[in-house]
Each structure stands twice: as structure tokens, then as C-alpha cells.
Structure 1
Amino acid sequence: MSELAKKSALLRGLAGAGFLLLAGCMVGPDYVPPEPDAGADFGATLPGEAGARAEETLWWRGFNDDRLSGLIAKALGENYEIAAARERLLQARALVEAEAGAGGPQLDGALTGDVASRTGGGGQNGQTEGEVSAGALFSWVPDLFGGQRRAVEAAEAESLARALLEADIARLTAADVARRYTEARRDYARLGLVNQSLELQRETLRLVETRFEAGLTARLDVKRAEADLAATRAQAPQLERSAKAALHALAVLTGERAGDFAKAGIGEGSIPAFEGGPAAGLPRDMVRRRADLRAAEAELARATALIGVEEADLYPLLSLPGRLSFNLEDLGSGNVAELVVATLSATLDIPLFDAGTRRAEISAAEAEAREALLLYRQAVLEALSEVETALVSVVSARARQDYLGEAVAASEVAFQQAENLYSQGLASFTEVLDAQRSLLSNRQELAIAKSDLALAFIDLYAAAGAPTGPRE
């Protein structure tokens, strides 16, 4: 066997032994997914939802509003927070590749040149000699006890957590768009009611002025009608400001300038009314769907893997550096195998005494894993609470909307009767004002109740972790 073949066989043998060692040991605990205490069902349910699974379609389509769907699609594609989260995900994926590559053999090339000059005696010219050599540098730290593999596990879990947090930002962004859209529609609807109220109050003022000019009523009634008219006018600027603020927030969510966005007429139209299917589903489904909960679980997996990373420092560390080199000028002068110089060494670093540092780092990693488990369980409880609260909000908002609808119908009749009786001199102007104020107030409250119901459904779907479409 040639000298080069012997050296090559030695390298292969050492590498094979290293791989056998790699397969035999793995420090640290293996990750076991926690079993969340989610319960069998939610305490509050909507009609037709008890025990039902949540729909897997895009929840905002339940509003049957193409403009809203378009805004959410735009936000999911152009929102800067989502884009930044995607970049964080790419960072994490690159770190996984870096960790995976760090555990393998490393090979680098080397090229060296030397020049030497010698001066001749008796004033003769000196001679210049040069030498060029090439080679390869090899290094490998075998992962004898699995510390590097645990580091890769931790990096993979971190990458998964980043991906899930990106999905969770999408969940929150979609809900925020729907909220701001509903708020803008609500405020513009209330502005429309203010204009209707002003027209109604102007008619009442004309009636009072006619009766005053005829000597049938006092100036006090005229002033009271004028005061109510002015008070109603005062509502408009505040509602306009609130509507514009909602539109400006929508602009930010969709990656646009606020000034341009406010001119798009997005607030024009009725208040969104939800007509979709089951939202909450079962608690265990919610835990499975909520990206933030799955991200918290991924953080637990990462913390668990880091225990193994720290435990690996308790054990010996084997390093295998090597070098192959040859002089380029000698390549044509003899047997190549005799020209190649190969060196391979092994270093075993054995930890003996560190004043408890390594054990303390393991204890810290174990405490971090316990903390991650507690944070996961806390996140599950908070998510369950969000769903329960949203369910109650939907039930109460729906009931309030129904009652206010009845109140508006009754107050319309009461106002018409009071105004008719007043024009005949059979009722006081106070009764007219009371009936009118009740009607206008109930109309405004009904608009608020409609938006509250829509917002409650939005909160419910967001809390339930309803899907927002495929993510990377």
C-alpha cells in the first residue's frame, strides 16, 4: 500500500470511529410537549356552537364586505410589522443552517509562498530563491455527547417560534384592520344620524317658531329648541375626528400614508354585520390554532434543548485538527505520495474543576425551561379567558342590539304622537323635547350597538385563532 493510501485510510478510520461515537450519546432531556388544561368546552356558547368545530375559512368573509376583505388582504401583504417578522424568520432559519454546519468537519485551503535572498562574496550579485507550497487544513470537533445536536434543536425551535410569531402578527393585524374599518363605518353612520337629527330638529324649531309667532307658546320653547339644535351640531366635529383617526390607523396597517388613505371614501357604507358560522369551536382546537400559544410551546422546546447544550460542557471535548501539504515545485520530481506531508492530531479537553460554573449554568438552563413552561400555561389561560370574554360580549351585544331596535321603533312612534299633540295644543313642548331626545339617543345607541356586535365577533375570531391564510 502506498504512503498516501495509508494516510487516507487512517483519516477514514478516525472519521468512522467518530461517527460511531456520535450515534451513541445524547445529553439533556428530550422535549415532551405539555398537555394544556383547556377543558372540554367553553363556559359561554352561541346558538348552534356548542361542541361545534370552528370554520377553517377566512373569518372576515362572514361580513360579506368585499372592501373589508380587500383591506385585510392588502395589510397581510404590505404591513411593515409582518414584513419585519418575516425578516426575523429568515434570520432564524439562517442560524439553523449555521448551527447545523458548525458540527461538521471544516476544510480550508492554504497557499504559502516564501522568498529568500543571499548575497554573494567578492561583490558578486546575490541569489534569490523562492518556494511555493499548497495544502488543506482540516478540523473537526466530533459531537460525542450531543451538545451540538441539542444546539441545532434549539435553533430549529427558535426558527419555528419566529414563524409562528409572524403568523400571530398576521392574526392580530387582520383583527385590527377589521376593528378600525368597523369603527370608521360606525362613526360615519353616526354622522349621518346627526344630519338626520338636525333636519328633524329644524322641523321642530320651525313648528315652535310658528306657534310662537301666533302667540301660542313662549319664547322659552324656541330657545330650548335652538339649544338642542346647537348641541346636536356639536356632536359632528368629534365624530369626524374619531372617524378620521380610524382611517389613519387603517392606513398604517395597510402600509399607506394616512392623508391619501382618508380620501378614499372607505368609511362610506353601512356598519358591518357578521353572518358567518361557528367561531370559537372547542378549547383544544383553539390551543392548536393560536399561533402565539404554539410559539410559546416552541420556546419551551428551545429552552429544553439548551439544557443539553449546557450539560455537554460537563464532558470531554475531542478536537481533530489535520493538515495536508506539498511543495508545488516538487510535483514533477517524484512520486506524489512521497511529496505529500499529512499530519493529524487529536486533543482531548477534559473538564476537571471550574468552581461549579458549569453546574450553575445547567441549573440556570433548567430554570429557564421551567419558566418557559409556566409562561406557556399562563398564555393558555389568558387565551381561554379572551375567548370566554368575547363569547359573553357577542351574546350581550346581540341582546342589546335587539332591545335598542325595539326602543328606536317605540320612540319614533312616541315622538310623532308628541309632536302631533303639541301642534294641537294638547301636549307641552317639554314632552316633545323629551320624545325627540329619546329618539335621537336611541338611534345613536343602536348604531353603537351594531358596531359593538361586529367588534365582539372580530374579538372572538381573533381570540379563537381563526386562520388568516397560508403563511411561509
Structure 2
Amino acid sequence: MSLRTVRGGLLALLLPMTACVSGPDYHLPASAVAASPRAARAFVSGQEASFSHDAPPDRWWQLYGDPQLDAYVREALAANTDLRAADANLRRASATVLEYRARGAVQAEVDASGTLTHAGGYTQASAPQSYALGLHLSYALDLAGGIRRGIEAANANAEAVAAARDQVRVVVAAAVTRAYLQVCTSNHTLTATQQVLAIQHATLEATRRLAAGGRGTNFDVSRAGAAVNRSAAGIPHLLAERQAALFELAALMGRLPADYPRAAEACPQPPELEQALPVGDGWQLLQRRPDIRAAERSLAAATAMIGAETAGLYPQITLGASSGVAGTPAHLLSADGFGASIGPVLSWHWPNRRVAKARIAAASANADTTLASFDGVVLQALRQTETALSACTQELERERSLAQARGDAARAAGQAQQLYRFGRIDFLDVLSAQAALADAESALATSRAQRIDRQMDLFLSLGGGWTASSPAEGVAR
């Protein structure tokens, strides 16, 4: 076989490679859950009148119209320790992208050496000395596109890390809002408990006066005192809950516990939403949630890695150039001491390509695993949102019923006191009515706190709270 035939065959093999990149180009698989039109529909549980189909704003906590809450969220997003760690992870991922891009650039290497000849184990004073200084340049042609696929994978991984950082922002914003509203709810519940306690104290004093005047018994006094103590016992628990929420708020804002925001401590009651809660639809959810975007970008990176491994099936050609000087000090700068070379270097793992094929199979399996994880994230997001919508709807209904029950209990307690003063009922009925009022206040306060918690769960599942840059590529439209 002539040299011309070998050279022609090599060129015939390499020329097609210059026009393509190895491995599959990424696109969202048609089988992905996110590509299904059913995933983009309106939410099944979002038909309650308190919900709207408008897309939720990015800064959803501003729907509460509380400037103090807005300030706390801003501070937390600037100082939260989890966000600082997420920012550092993003910087590391960006550095990896730069590393992969550098592999496609010209590589330079400088080396220098010096030797001193020894004779008979001893250094001779007149022994010859020689030195060498060289510069080597190399450039990988990347005909099969392995480096380009590596850069593509690194970029997608960096975008996944950026989405993970955005997810931390979502969690932090929701946690700050939840902690602040917990403080306000505890204060509101504390006020209601103290109002019931004041009524029971008044009943106790009236009972003592009646007993002193012969119209009551010590047994009535004891029962009234027990009711007072039972209600008073709930106050320390409310104070502890409020303080725990304040400490949580401080930690989220990057503060020491002793530096918790004192202004929040005086919040009289939780702010209410100023409009119907906007929830959007499935398509908007798929575009908005950072964890979905992170999973989709991870799938893109895994797909690119198939191409990076596929490039190992083809020859790798590197253009190299070297120049330098070498010799004794007397001849170092002479023409005899100078040398240079230039030419391509070809490497090819052939015919033993089983290693490359095994790596391709592993990369393909990893892409399948990542697709399954992506589908799982989408299903989980839709499930969480539907569950949160349903729970929020039911808690709203429960709170409405408990508010009516609390109003009925308050009227009954007032009526019982009047009837008792006129001798129409006995003292046990008064205590029962007041106990029912205390229970109704407690149940309403608990429901209000749970309703706020359900709202936080819903906002968290909707995935707002990060500054949008670009939606997840290829997600269902």
C-alpha cells in the first residue's frame, strides 16, 4: 500500500468529522413528563374563589403589603449562610466551565534544565556544563467535538448549579415569611387568650364576692379559679413559640440570636393577602420552579457527556510546535544550539475500542437515570402544588367555620353571665360557656396559624422568590 493511499484514506476519515460533533444533540425527550400537554394544564385543586389563575409575582411576599416583611426578606437574601454557600458553589461551577474552555485553546509549556557532569564520583572543577531551554505549543483540533461536548456539559452543569442556588432563595424567602407570620400569629393568639383570661378573672372575682355574701359557694370559687389557671397555662407556650420564631428569623437573616429583629416582636396580627392568591397553571409552574430547571439542565449535561465519550472512538489530532536552545554555555546561543520542530500528533485507541464503548454505554445509562430523575422532580412539583392547593382550600373552610363558632361562643358566654346574675342558670353553666369560648378561641387561633402555614407551603411549591433569568429550556409549552 502506497503512502498516498494511506494519506488519502486518513483524510477521507477525518474530513467528515470536521463538519459534525459526536454524540446526540440535546432536546427535551418527547417521553418526558414535562413534555406532556397534560402537565401544562390548570391545577385540579385551584378552582377555589380565593385563588386566581394569574401567574404569581416573583416577590410573592409583597402580596401581604407589609414593608417590614419585605425588608426582612431582602436582608435574608443578602446575608443568609445557605445562600452564601450556594453562591460559592456557583463560582466553582463557573470555574469548571473556564477549565473546559481552556482545553480548546492553545496550550503552552516552558521547560528549562541544567546538568553538571561528574567523574569518578567527584565533581571536577573543569567538568562540562550544559543547559536547555524549550517552549512547546500544542493545539487540539477537536475534530470529533469531544472538547466542545465537554464545554457544553460544563455549561449545563453550571446552569444546574445556578438553578440550585435559585431554589435556596425560594426556600429562604418562604422560611423568613413563615417565621415572621408565626411571630404575628403568636401575638394575635396571645391577645385573644388574654381577653378570655380577663373574662375568667372577672368571673372569679364576681364569684368570690357572691360567696362572701352568701350567694355562692367555695366550690364555685374553686371551679372559677381552675378555669383561670387553665387559660393562663397556655400563655408561656405562646411566648415560647413567638421567641423561637424570632430566633429562627434572626438565623435566616444571618444574625446572632441576641440580635433578633425587635420590631417584629410587636407585630399585633399576621397581615392578610390583599388579593386572591395567584397560582397560575401547570405550564407556568414548569417554567418557574428552579428545581425543575436544575433537573432539566442536569439532563442536558448528561446528554452532552455521551458525545464527549463518543469522541474517544475517533483519532485525536494535536498540532504541536517546539523550539529551544541547548548545549554548553559557550555554544548555547550559537546556531548549533538552536532547534525547532512542528507537526501534527495523532493518537487513536484502535482496534481496542472496548474502553471507549463501555464509557459511552455508561454515559447513556447515566442520561437515562437523569431523565428518570427529571421526570420525578416534575411529578413531585405537580403533586406538591396540588396538595398545597387542596390543603389551603380546606383550611380556609375550616377557619371560616371556626370563626363563626367563636362568635357564637362569645355571645353564649355573655348571655350566660347575664342569666346567672338573674338566677336563671347555675354557675356551672357560666363556666361551661366560658370554657367553650376559650376552646373556640384556641381552635380558631390554631386554624389561622395552620392556614398561614398552608399558604407558605403553597408559595413554596409554586417556586417564586428568585430573579428570573431564563426559563427551563424545552419544557412543555
TM-score by length of 2: 0.85
Separation in 2, partners of 1:110, 1:226: 93
Query: Does residue 1:33 correspond to 2:31, yes or no?
Result: no
Q: Shift in Å at residue 463 of structure 1? A: 1.2
Distance 1:252 1:287 in 2: 31
The letter of the residue matching 1:141 is A
- For residues 387-406 of structure 1, the C-alpha deviation after alignment (integer angstroms, 9 at most, x for no partner) is 11222223222222222222
CA distance in 2, matches of 1:96, 1:468: 23
Per-residue CA distance 1:330-349 (angstroms, 9 max, x = gap): 79867xxx874212354433
Hey, what's the Cα distance between the residues in 2 that align with 1:239 and 1:354? 72
Q: Is the 8 A contact 2:164 2:290 kept in 1?
A: yes
In structure 1, C-alpha distance between the alignment counterparts of 2:67 and 2:14, rounded to whole Å: 59
Q: How far apart, in 2, do the equivalents of 1:169 and 1:206 lie?
A: 55
Task: Give 3-state SS (helix, strand or coil) of 2:265's partner.
Answer: coil
Which residue number in structure 2 is paired with residue 105 of structure 1? 106
Aligned to 1:63: 64
- Alignment of 1:259 with 2:247, yes or no, is no
Q: CA deviation at 1:443?
A: 2.0
Q: Secondary structure of the equivalent of 2:219?
A: helix
Partner of 2:281: 282
Please give the per-residue CA displacement for 1:201-253, whole angstroms capped at 9, x wherever unaligned. Answer: 11011122222222223322211111111111111122222221111111111
**SS at 1:32 equivalent:** coil
Whether 1:161 aligns to 2:184 is no
> How far does residue 168 in structure 1 lie from its aligned partner after superposition?
0.7
Count the aligned residue pairs: 448
Q: Which amino acid aligns with 1:210?
A: R
Contact 1:80 1:255 survives alignment (8 Å): yes
Tell me, what secondary structure is at the counterpart of 1:177? helix
Q: 1:288 to 1:159 in 2, by over 3 A?
A: same
The answer on whether the counterparts of 1:59 and 1:276 sit within 8 Å (CA) in structure 2 is: no
Deviation of the 1:115 alpha carbon: 5.5
Shift of 1:150: 1.1
Q: Which residue of 1 aligns with 2:187?
A: 188
Residue 89 of structure 2 is matched in structure 1 by 88
1:132-152 CA-partner distances (Å, limit 9, x unpaired): 554311223331211111111
Residues 169 and 465 in structure 2, CA contact (< 8 A), matched pair in contact too: no
Between the aligned partners of 1:175 and 1:286, the Cα distance in structure 2 is 17
Q: Pairwise mapping of residues 2-21 of structure 1 onto structure 2 (< 5 A)?
A: none
Aligned to 2:217: 218
Letter in 2 for 1:157: A
Separation in 1, partners of 2:432, 2:235: 21
- CA distance in 2 between counterparts of 1:259 and 1:332 reads 72
After superposition, the C-alpha distances for 1:89-140 in whole angstroms (9 at most, x for unaligned) are 000000000011112221123344456699xxxxxx9657655554311223
**Aligned mates of 1:189, 1:141 — CA distance in 2:** 69
1: CA distance, partners of 2:469 / 2:245: 27
What is the deviation of 1:441? Answer: 1.9
Give a deviation string over 1:309-329, Cα, whole Å, max 9, x none. 222222233344431113697
Give the aligned partner of residue 236 of structure 1.
235
The aligned residue for residue 438 of structure 2 is 440
Confirm or deny: 8 A CA contact 1:72 1:177 kept in the other structure: yes
1:356–1:214: structure 2 CA closer, same or farther, 3 Å change rule?
same
Distance 1:154 1:450 in 2: 48
Answer yes or no: is the 8 Å Cα contact 1:390–1:463 preserved in 2: yes
| More displaced 10-residue stretch of structure 1: 356-365 or 407-416 | 356-365
Further displaced range: 132-141 or 107-116: 107-116
* Structure 1 match to 2:424: 426
Of 435-444 and 79-88, the range deviating more from structure 2: 435-444
Structure 1 counterpart of 2:430, one-letter code? V
Residue of structure 2 in register with 1:122 after alignment: none
| Matched AA of 2:146 | G
Does the residue aligned with 2:278 lie in a helix, a strand or coil?
coil
CA contact (8 A) 2:115 2:130 kept: yes
1:4 corresponds to which residue?
none
Aligned to 2:136: 137
Asked whether the equivalents of residues 388 and 458 of structure 2 are also in contact (C-alpha less than 8 Å), the reply is yes
Q: CA RMSD in A?
A: 3.0
Q: For 1:286 and 1:56, how far apart are their aligned partners in 2?
A: 12
Whole-Å Cα distance in 2 between the matches of residues 228 and 310 of structure 1? 76
Q: CA, structure 1 residues 255+200, in 2 after alignment: closer, same or farther (shift >3 Å)?
A: same
Cα distance in structure 2, aligned partners of 1:248 and 1:353: 66
| Counterpart residue type for residue 445 of structure 1 | A
The more displaced of 155-164 and 449-458 is 449-458
The 3 A distance-change label for structure 1 pair 378 and 126 is closer
Mapping for residues 278-317 of structure 1, pairs under 5 Å: 278-317=277-316
Amino-acid identity (%): 30
Secondary structure of the 2:341 match is: strand
Residues 243 and 354 of structure 1: is their aligned pair in 2 closer, same or farther, counting only changes over 3 Å?
farther
Q: Say which is worse superposed, 457-466 or 447-456, in terms of deviation.
A: 447-456
Q: Which runs of 5+ in 1 are unaligned?
A: 1-16, 119-124
- Which residue number corresponds to residue 364 of structure 1? 362
Tell me the residue number matched to 2:341: 343
Q: 1:397 to 1:330 in 2, by over 3 A?
A: same
The answer to whether the Cα contact below 8 Å between 1:244 and 1:262 also exists between their aligned partners in 2 is: no
Greater Cα shift, 291-300 or 264-273: 264-273
Aligned-residue offset at 1:80: 0.5
1: distance between equivalents of 2:272 and 2:419?
38
- The more displaced of 171-180 and 272-281 is 272-281
Distance in 2 of aligned mates of 1:22 and 1:286: 41
| Residues 61, 69 of structure 1: 8 Å contact kept | yes
Match in the other structure for 1:324: 323
